[in-house]
Structure 1
Amino acid sequence: MTEELIIAGFGGQGVLLTGKLLCVAAMRQGKQVSHIPSYGAEMRGGTANCSVVISDEEIASPVIEKPSIVIALNGPS
């Protein structure tokens, strides 16, 4: 089973932390994970995105084209 997640929001909303926590939890269950954070130069209020792939098998590519889950923390996301 493979889950592909995109988490998006403004900086300061916990987007990157959520992605990291999901990865740590999945690794503790013995899953393969990929985590790609993306954020702007602003300290708070800028865009923040995170791509997470969790799989039972080895992950060939961390690029997500059709996510199975999207967590959007604000309207623009």
Structure 2
Amino acid sequence: RNYFSLGFSVINEAGRANDIYSSVGTFSWGGAFSTHYFADPKEKICAVLMKQMWPTSMGGELDRKFDLMIYQALDDK
């Protein structure tokens, strides 16, 4: 479950968000033209995806795949 604040959303309950198992405390946000970032304090990672796409609704699927790829790489370790 996500909660929103000034500048980011925070996952405050264990579980799946967008087919990704993010840790409690993970925070993220996107910006104009579909930029995207997240930081997972438990896993000690942060990731930034810079893209310029308009309309911004086109970037959501790419964001999800990017996050999934990062977490899959952690599982492969």
TM-score relative to the length of structure 1 = 0.28
Higher relative contact order (CA 8 A, sep 6+): 1
TM-score relative to the length of structure 2 = 0.28
Structure 1 or 2: more strand by fraction: 1
